[in-house]
């Protein structure tokens, strides 16, 4: 039986309209290159939204997935498995953590983190200590709890009533946090770089103050490193660069290199509150996912690879500055490592999607982070030559938009 032929037009026929994908269908990828149904080639600066950390079809990942596929796919949590035990050991060795909970996405990792924070305070103090403090523009996922903790109202609208006991404060505002935190606070959660919110770096002083205030009020500090983790910022986790240790950290995206996995990392002290039967996931710790993520960790968590990420950041920053010298279109460049954002000048704010579409026409995949920021989150081992060629395509895309719309 032959496969039915499908095109982008079928999306609008058979898919729920919560997405509006670009007008082509990618069919294969290799490294930082992708090809569509018409065999057009693209350079990938999007990385599947900061996910394909070793590029497409990395031989070590492909081989591992095939080998594991021949051995064992799934068991459920009635049994443990070797890849999960090895991956958890490596994550604990590489971080502050003593214990790991596996799941299938960033949302699920955060759901587990928020539930653990509530349960920990419930166990140690009482049910009144349940308030979660988070920050405006933050993004923590799309389940009802994570969308409620997230600081973007548009993702909650129409889905109310949402879980209670959540406060949103201005990001990087130490005074606001000082005023809001109390004996009722069970956790403060933040992204070290707000990814979806516009690639906004946390101030080191703010992160340090958050740690001190959490200690003072007996609240847990949660870092959502779903986007910044697993090498993305040039250290294995971004918290290493801030010199601040959380109580709970969440990881997903780059951790699986494209295979769905999420992880919540925590200390022995907190972990006891997720005691037997309190939380779970049918697929969490799946052998296929853990086998792949183990290779991602092995490949990324080495000094030469992490150092090269900072050098690649430099190539991007210099190339973007050269583009800006020509067109005067960016007013700010932010991020760390290979999570980079440029904010458009006032005249083009609200039109970031135009640049994403023009880039695609020029053979380049990029991301946006809200309506005024272009975002780049490529493979962590993207070739320097691909960065240069991609930036040339970005230059052409910007020229195209300016010519058509000015
Ligand atoms: C993407 C993202 C999430 C959600 O991850 P999913 O895998 O889409 O559920 C949560 N937090 C941050 C910071 C993210 O960037």
In the reported structure, the alpha carbon of residue 70 is separated from the centroid of ligand 1 by a whole-number distance in angstroms of: 30
Other CB atoms within 10 A of residue 318 CB: 11
pLDDT digits (tens, 9 = 90+) for 210-262: 999 999 999 999 999 999 999 999 999 999 999 999 999 999 999 999 999 99
Give residue 2's pLDDT: 66
Give helix 287-300 / helix 82-94 axis angle, nearest 10°: 30
Looking at the domain assignment, is residue 62 inside a domain?
no
Measure the CA–CA gap between 146 and 249, rounded to whole angstroms. Answer: 15
389 with 43: CB under 8 angstroms?
A: yes
Residue 368 confidence class, pLDDT cut points 50, 70, 90: very high
Return the SS3 of 219: coil
Nearest atom in ligand 1 to 253's CA: 7
In the reported structure, the alpha carbon of residue 250 is separated from the centroid of ligand 1 by a whole-number distance in angstroms of: 9
Q: Among 236, 269, 300, which residue terminates a domain? A: 300
Nearest atom in ligand 1 to 105's CA: 7
Looking at the domain assignment, is residue 285 inside a domain?
yes
Looking at the domain assignment, is residue 2 inside a domain?
no
Report the domain count for the chain.
Answer: 2
Nearest atom in ligand 1 to 227's CA: 15
Q: Which residue, judged by its Cα, is nearest atom 5 of ligand 1? A: 106
Please check whether residues 150 and 225 belong to one and the same domain. yes
Nearest atom in ligand 1 to 49's CA: 1
For 85, the token pair is 């035990």
| Mutation test residue for ligand 1: of 107, 190, 191, 199, the one with most atoms within 8 Å of CB | 107
Q: Which residue, judged by its Cα, is nearest atom 15 of ligand 1? A: 227
In the reported structure, the alpha carbon of residue 316 is separated from the centroid of ligand 1 by a whole-number distance in angstroms of: 24
pLDDT digits (tens, 9 = 90+) for 348-362: 999 999 999 999 999
Helix%, strand%, coil% for the chain, nearest 5: 40, 20, 40
Q: Which residue, judged by its Cα, is nearest atom 11 of ligand 1? A: 140
Looking at the domain assignment, is residue 172 inside a domain?
yes
Give residue 32's pLDDT: 98
pLDDT digits (tens, 9 = 90+) for 91-130: 999 999 999 999 999 999 999 999 999 999 999 999 999 9
Residue 405 confidence class, pLDDT cut points 50, 70, 90: confident
Give helix 303-327 / helix 287-300 axis angle, nearest 10°: 80
Q: What is the mean pLDDT of the chain?
A: 97
In the reported structure, the alpha carbon of residue 376 is separated from the centroid of ligand 1 by a whole-number distance in angstroms of: 16
| Mutation test residue for ligand 1: of 114, 226, 283, the one with most atoms within 8 Å of CB | 226
Please check whether residues 109 and 33 belong to one and the same domain. no
In the reported structure, the alpha carbon of residue 1 is separated from the centroid of ligand 1 by a whole-number distance in angstroms of: 38
In the reported structure, the alpha carbon of residue 3 is separated from the centroid of ligand 1 by a whole-number distance in angstroms of: 33
Q: Among 240, 274, 300, which residue terminates a domain? A: 300
Give residue 1's pLDDT: 54
Looking at the domain assignment, is residue 1 inside a domain?
no
The answer to whether the Cα torsion of 286, 284, 54, 393 is positive or negative is positive
Looking at the domain assignment, is residue 125 inside a domain?
yes
Helices (H), 246-383: 268-271, 287-300, 303-327, 352-361
Give residue 11's pLDDT: 97
In DSSP terms, 384 is beta-bridged to none
The answer to whether the Cα torsion of 70, 76, 82, 85 is positive or negative is positive
Measure the CA–CA gap between 197 and 195, rounded to whole angstroms. Answer: 5
Please check whether residues 215 and 130 belong to one and the same domain. yes
Measure the CA–CA gap between 4 and 243, rounded to whole angstroms. Answer: 53
In the reported structure, the alpha carbon of residue 224 is separated from the centroid of ligand 1 by a whole-number distance in angstroms of: 8
As a whole number, mean pLDDT of residues 289-317 equals: 97
Specify the CATH number for the domain of residue 118: 3.40.640.10
For 26, the token pair is 């990618």
In the reported structure, the alpha carbon of residue 139 is separated from the centroid of ligand 1 by a whole-number distance in angstroms of: 7
Looking at the domain assignment, is residue 65 inside a domain?
no
Specify the CATH number for the domain of residue 386: 3.90.1150.10
Q: CB under 6 Å to ligand 1: residues?
A: 105-107, 110, 139-141, 191, 195-196, 224, 226-227, 252-253
Q: Among 269, 300, 331, which residue terminates a domain? A: 300
Distance set, CA 118 to CA 95, 156, 185, 214 (Å): 23, 21, 9, 14
The answer to whether residue 406 scores a pLDDT higher than 90 is: no
As a whole number, mean pLDDT of residues 379-393 equals: 98
In DSSP terms, 101 is beta-bridged to 264
As a whole number, mean pLDDT of residues 49-59 equals: 98
Please check whether residues 289 and 151 belong to one and the same domain. yes
Please check whether residues 87 and 149 belong to one and the same domain. yes
Structural domain harbouring 155:
71-300
């Amino acid at each position: 039986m032959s496969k039915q032929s499908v095109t982008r037009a079928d999306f609008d026929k058979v898919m729920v309209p919560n997405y509006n994908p670009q007008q082509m269908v990618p069919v294969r990828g290799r490294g930082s290159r992708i090809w569509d149904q018409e065999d057009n080639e693209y350079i990938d600066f999007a990385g599947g939204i900061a996910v394909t950390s070793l590029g497409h079809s990395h031989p070590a990942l492909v081989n591992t997935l095939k080998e594991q596929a021949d051995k064992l796919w799934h068991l459920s949590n009635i049994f443990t498995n070797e890849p999960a035990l090895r991956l958890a050991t490596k994550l604990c060795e590489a971080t502050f953590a003593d214990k790991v909970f596996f799941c299938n996405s960033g949302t699920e990792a955060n759901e587990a983190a928020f539930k653990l924070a509530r349960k920990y305070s419930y166990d140690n103090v009482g049910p009144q200590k349940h308030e979660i403090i988070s920050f405006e523009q933050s993004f923590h996922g799309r389940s009802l709890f994570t969308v409620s903790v997230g600081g973007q109202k548009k993702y909650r609208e129409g889905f109310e009533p949402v879980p209670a006991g959540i406060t949103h404060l201005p990001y990087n505002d130490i005074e606001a946090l000082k005023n809001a935190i109390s004996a009722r606070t069970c956790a403060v959660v933040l992204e070290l770089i707000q990814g979806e919110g516009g690639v906004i770096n946390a101030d080191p002083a703010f992160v340090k103050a958050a740690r001190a205030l959490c200690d003072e009020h007996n609240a847990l500090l949660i870092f959502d490193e779903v986007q910044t983790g697993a090498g993305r910022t040039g250290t294995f986790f971004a918290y290493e660069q801030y010199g601040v240790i959380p109580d709970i950290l969440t990881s997903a995206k780059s951790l699986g290199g494209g295979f769905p996995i999420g992880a919540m990392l925590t200390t022995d002290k907190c972990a006891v509150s997720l005691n037997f039967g309190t939380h779970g996931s049918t697929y969490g710790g799946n052998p296929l996912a853990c086998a792949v993520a183990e290779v991602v960790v092995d490949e990324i968590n080495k000094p030469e690879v992490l150092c090269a990420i900072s050098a690649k950041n430099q190539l991007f920053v210099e190339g973007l500055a050269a583009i800006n010298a020509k067109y005067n279109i960016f007013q700010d460049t932010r991020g760390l490592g290979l999570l980079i954002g440029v904010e458009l000048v006032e005249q083009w704010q609200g039109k970031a999607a135009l640049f994403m579409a023009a880039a695609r026409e020029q053979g380049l995949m990029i991301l946006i982070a809200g309506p005024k920021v272009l975002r780049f989150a490529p493979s962590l081992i993207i070739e320097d030559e691909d960065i240069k060629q991609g930036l040339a395509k970005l230059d052409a895309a910007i020229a195209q938009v300016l010519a058509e719309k000015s």
